[in-house]
Structure 1
Amino acid sequence: MKKDDDKTDEQFLRSHNRSGYSSMVMKFENFNLMQFVCYFFFYLLVVIVSLVITSYGPSVTKNSVQTKNVNPKSYEWIIEREISNLERLNQPISSSIQLENTKDLIVSANVFLTVKVYGLPKDSKGVVKPKLLSNSTHKRKIFCKAKAKCVPIRLMEEPFLRYDSYRVNVLMKRNFTTNFFTKITINWKIRNTKITIFETFFRYSYLMASLIIILITTRSCKDIPSGLFSTEQKWIAYLLPCLVLYNNPFSTLSLFIPSPANDIFQALVSLLFLHLLVLFVLCLIDNHRVPLLQRKWYKFYLPKILLLTISFLSIFIVYTKERLKREEDMLYTSIFDFSGIKHIGVLLILIVIILIIWIFAGSIITYIKLKKIQTQMKKFKFFLAINFFTFIIFAILFFIRVGGRKNNTTGIYLSTYTVFNFYIYFLVLAYLPSKQFKSKIHKIIQNSSKGDTLDQQVIDNLNFDGIEKKNKSNLNNDFDMEEIENDQNNDFFLSEKND
């Protein structure tokens, strides 16, 4: 095989910009088996250590339980409870009501709740002047197992604390006769002040790490013509700014500015990042299988974007509607009070099923088609491996959060931020250009009398991904995979040979 050092500048650039696939040599392509194992082991180790560190942090919430005995034969119960001495760091605050079933029978029935929520500010003389924040009536269903506490019913939720004391007045009406209930519990949940500080520290740590990764990436790729960037590196350029927004540098504003815009912005950037990440996975799976000239936007990108846009808009609209509705009605919950929530839920379940089938089926088909293209197979195996490890981590965390008993720890609460951040960090570091490739590019720039116009002189003389313009009209979209493999074996920069 002709070595890279023996090639002219244009031959080198053409050999690394092939018709079928992007082919900048990335760091992970120089890894042998042992280096691959060490890289993934280090990835798992860093994620696990960070989760262990967060798991020893303070609990997320503090509970304040207030119980009242009631007449089991009455059709109406009135409860009034207060909570005081709150700080800004305690936000958000929520309250729920819970009945206790004393009989050996299962209970499922409807009740009507009228809830008034008051803020309790004090004037200059220290006199409390209640301010009505919400007054609403809704129908709710209570469900109780035999001789057990019923499922809690949320009464109110205040995302930001405008007052240091709150009061709820609850009127519960029922239209069924039973003497099963003798106690009613009001449960207040507030954020632990320590977790607010702890979360802020972690958010800004990840934010600084993301900015450092961006600087490393920019410095590593600054002298390389953009025409040689691989698809993976172009995607990383989109994901990194979204990761910065996902870490939300404006999160602390909610402590000082009582506005629903803070929560809506957090939901917006989180949903945008997650859906862009899914789009990245779908496109990378198909990208390894479909050569560039076969990627028609209406076939390759449009179905993915359309599917994820429907999911994004459905979730974001429902969340925004509920968040704004709670400004006037703190008892409002989309699950019970939004008639279209069932249809949206079914739609989202179908989208999730389609995406799962797409990812698994696409991975299998791509793996089969790439058996003859070793350079692409190596990239695809790496991509599958890091996504598989990440999926396993999320599956374990999901089991701990849903099935485990200890679901109030910081480790579980911050696990999403931790895994997503390190997933992107390790992808970026693996997709950086290799030292040998950068060295050759630097030599080309130094040998060029007009290094700043290298793209125009060489890259622009080629069509997208390296096919000469004069032959573009004669191209057939149906690539011969064996021919591409032969081109790669003859022209691609294989690190093993150079080592």
Structure 2
Amino acid sequence: MAKPHSDADASGLGYAYQLPSGGLLLRLKSSLSQFSDLFSDFSRYISPAYHHDRCERSVHMRLYSMHKREFVMVFLGFFTCFGLGIVIGLTGPPITSTSSLTAQQILANTSLAHSPTVLGKGPFAMKSPLTTTYSQQMWLIAKLVTDNNDDERYDKSFQVSVSIDGINEQHKPQSVIGSGVAHNRTRHLVCVRNDCEEFTVMHLGFLDYAHYIITVRFYGLESFHQKYNIRSITFYFKTYSPEFTQIEIWFRCIFLLFTFIVICWYAHTLRKYPIYDWSIEQRWLSVLLPLLLLYDNPFFPLIFLMNSWLPGMLDAILQATFLCSLLMFWLCIYHGLRQNERSFVRFYLVKVIVVLPIWLCAIVLATWEKCNELRDPTYSHFVDTKNYNGFKMFFYIACCMYVLYLVLLLLRAYTELRSMPYFDMRLKFLTLLMLFVLCISITVTTCRFGFGILEDNFVASLNTTYRSSAQFMCFYGLLNFYLYTMAYVYSPDGRFAQAELAVTKDNPAISMIDDSDEDVVYGSDEESRRPLTSVGGGAGKNDYDSD
């Protein structure tokens, strides 16, 4: 074996050039091989690496080093927690509570009981069932039945006047909306044969009293009553179930606690790395997790401590903000994996323009209806057809724009990155979870449950019945467990805790093409360029000559 030349070591490169021996071809091959090893020490200054502008470096994510069985365990844990939440919801109480009163019961023992025109105009004075702060809100819904047997569909416009008195602790009526300032609102009575669709008489967004005395009068139904003969009128009082409210408080508190723990753990795992070394997923999770904390709403108990519309509107705003941030996250990830330069104007501005209308629709709908109902409990945006239909069309257009843009980014990401190791892994993991979240969310919305103002509109319909709390647990558990799973997968791997091992190449244009998805463990650039022969290597270190 040739001995290392001392002059080669004096250069300070840490490598020794071995004088080749043997045939001419073998000598030439050996010389080129050793020269290549010597030259590799300078290659990082002329080849793309993480310290160049054209490449982005990022903290090593747990996703990179996970094997198939670990992926199975992660998804199994996610589905187990999600399924457990649904089981708890199925065993829970129904979300709403409904009680009914017929016009005959209301008018019994009154002078109007035998009046032939009373069903067409009223008045109907009724006392609401017992309500507590846990009842949250109350809707009064009316449903008419006629004697008409013709196969025709007819729509009759009429006005509803409502006066409301609350029963205070001294059992005395306290005027909420007096008869002198009673609001008249237009309603539409849509009937097919003898069955008429229900309509909302009034909605109280927060409850100040245990009982209410509500007086309802109809205007414009006299001619309708004479023609079709209103046989009966049934009034329904609908509130949130107090038992469900207790479940909601407890599980919001539990999700809030777990989210806080996950935030602390996630921040602890990334504390040693500069923020500019974080991957785009890690940066976005550092934003989404605090928003999830607000989505679980630490201010939710204020709904029961304050007799005001403000906590309810704040809850709707926080939920809308988190959901729109999640929509923004999906757009940024699918685009950000292909692009390292992410300036606000070129990268984020278009996405903000796409998502902002959806957020504005949710915020405007929440504040618009809450503020109008505060002044007038008989207000309903369904009746304000001119503004509501235009608003609904704007929302549909915004959603279509978002879906088209998301599909475009998804297809381009898969077209460019699906054959690149690690990037295809990131795409598959993100897409699989995203599709599951979207499918479950659409299913829950189809079951007439949602967030904030959307949920209230579903509850206001008699067709919406909840036999258990499964819809609530499904919706809230899904989003919480989704972010917990991403926080675990995108967190730094403990096996690569050293700073020089935690920085990995993250440029789709270079590197990682010849690496496998599971067997490659990242090392530093210096280790990858270390030659087979080093200075000072003895027989005990298993160093060999090239020849």
Bin the TM-score by the shorter chain: 0.7 to 0.9
Determine which of 152, 157, 173 is the counterpart of 1:129: 173
Of 519, 524, 543, 1:496 maps to 519
3-state SS, counterpart of residue 409 of structure 1: coil
Equivalent pair of 2:147/2:230 in contact (CA under 8 Å):
yes
Please say if residues 421 and 516 of structure 2, whose CA atoms lie closer than 8 Å, have aligned partners that are also in contact.
no
Contact 2:420-2:513 at 8 Å conserved across structures: no
Distance across 2 between alignment mates of 1:494 and 1:415:
33
Match of 1:329 in 2: 376
Q: Work out the CA distance in 1 between the residues paired with 2:51 and 2:429.
A: 20
Does the 8 Å contact 1:62/1:189 carry over to 2?
yes
Instruction: Give the 5 Å matches for 1:130-145.
Output: 130-133=174-177, 135-145=182-192
Which position in structure 1 is the counterpart of 2:27? none
1:226 aligns with 2:272: no
Between the aligned partners of 1:43 and 1:71, the Cα distance in structure 2 is 62
Q: Per residue, is there more helix in 1 or in 2?
A: 1
Counterpart position of 1:92: 137
Q: Which structure has the bigger radius of gyration?
A: 2
RMSD: 3.1
Task: Specify the alignment match of 1:369 in structure 2.
Answer: 416
1:466–1:91 Cα change, 3 Å: closer
Q: CA offset at residue 48 of structure 1?
A: 1.7
After superposition, where does 1:98-497 map in structure 2 within 5 Å?
Answer: 98-104=143-149, 105=151, 106-123=153-170, 126=171, 128-133=172-177, 135-148=182-195, 150-174=196-220, 176-177=223-224, 178-289=227-338, 291-293=339-341, 295-337=342-384, 339-401=386-448, 407-438=466-497, 440-441=498-499, 484-485=509-510, 487-489=511-513, 496-497=519-520
CA distance in 2, matches of 1:385, 1:187: 43
Offset of residue 157 of structure 1: 2.0
Q: Work out whether residues 16 and 493 of structure 1, in 8 Å CA contact, stay in contact via their aligned partners in 2.
A: no
Letter in 2 for 1:319: A
Indicate conservation of the 8 Å contact 2:56/2:505, yes or no.
no
What stretches of structure 1 of length at least 5 have no aligned partner?
A: 1-5, 445-458, 460-464, 468-478
Displacement of 1:71: 4.0
How far apart in 1 are the matches of 2:388 and 2:204?
22
Contact 2:205-2:373 at 8 Å conserved across structures: no
DSSP 3-state at the match of 1:377: helix
Judged with a 3 Å threshold, the aligned counterparts in structure 2 of structure 1 residues 405 and 318 are, in CA distance, closer, same or farther, namely: closer
Distance (Å, rounded) in 2 between the aligned partners of 1:7 and 1:202: 58
Are the equivalent residues in 2 in contact too, given 1:160–1:258 (CA < 8 A)? yes
Contact 2:354-2:401 within 8 A present in 1 as well: no
Give, in angstroms, the shift of residue 351 of structure 1: 0.8
Cα drift, residue 152 of structure 1? 2.0
Offset at 1:309? 1.8
Q: Give the counterpart letter for 1:288 in structure 2.
A: L
Amino acid paired to 1:210: T
Corresponding residue number in structure 2 for 1:34: 69
Which stretch shifts more, 181-190 or 372-381? Answer: 372-381
Q: Is the 8 A contact 1:16 1:23 kept in 2?
A: no
Match of 2:122 in 1: 77
Aligned residue for 2:111? Answer: none
| Alignment partners' CA distance in 2, 1:388 and 1:348 | 22
Cα contact 1:22–1:228 (8 A) shared by 2: yes
CA separation of 1:406/1:318 partners in 2, compared to 1, >3 Å: closer, same or farther? closer
Q: 3-state SS of the aligned residue for 1:326? A: helix
Aligned-partner Cα distance in 1 for 2:385–2:174: 30
Q: Which amino acid aligns with 1:133?
A: I
Equivalents in 1 of 2:148, 2:483: separation in Å? 53
Distance (whole Å) between structure 2 residues aligned to residue 129 and residue 226 of structure 1: 61
Deviations 1:7-31 (A, max 9, x none): 99x99x9649883445422112222
How far apart are residue 335 of structure 1 and its match?
2.2
Q: Secondary structure at the match of 2:273?
A: coil
Rounded Cα–Cα distance in structure 2 between residues aligned with 1:22 and 1:114:
66
Residue deviations 1:331-373 (CA, integer Å, cap 9, x gap): 0112213642221111110011111122222211210111342
Q: CA deviation at 1:391?
A: 2.1
Give the conservation status (yes or no) of the 8 Å contact 1:60–1:191: yes
Contact 1:82 1:166 in 2 (8 A): yes
Whether contact under 8 Å (1:210, 1:244) holds in the other structure is yes
Going from structure 1 to structure 2, the CA distance change for 1:158 and 1:173 (only over 3 Å counts) comes to: same
What is the number of residues matched between the two proteins?
A: 450
Distance 1:399 1:315 in 2: 18
C-alpha distance in 1 between matches for 2:352 and 2:101 = 49
User: One-letter code of the match for 1:292?
Assistant: N
Most deviating of 370-379 and 261-270: 370-379
CA distance in 1, matches of 2:466, 2:209: 29
Question: Would the alpha carbon gap of residues 437 and 101 (structure 1) be closer, same or farther in structure 2, given more than 3 Å must change?
Answer: farther
The CA distance in 1 between the partners of 2:197 and 2:52, in whole Å, is 61
Distance 1:435 1:7, change over 3 A: farther
Task: Name the TM-score, length of structure 2 as normaliser.
Answer: 0.75
C-alpha distance in 2 between matches for 1:7 and 1:205: 54
Greater Cα offset, 351-360 or 233-242: 351-360
CA shift in 2, pair 1:263/1:64, >3 Å: same
1:55 to partner: Cα distance:
1.6
SS of residue in 1 equivalent to 2:214:
strand
Kept in 2: contact 1:119–1:133 (CA 8 A): no
1:51 aligns with 2:86: yes
Aligned to 1:64: 99
Instruction: List gaps (5 residues or longer) in structure 2.
Output: 1-39, 105-114, 450-457, 523-547
SS at 2:59's partner residue?
coil
8 Å CA contact 2:156–2:189 kept in 1: the answer is yes
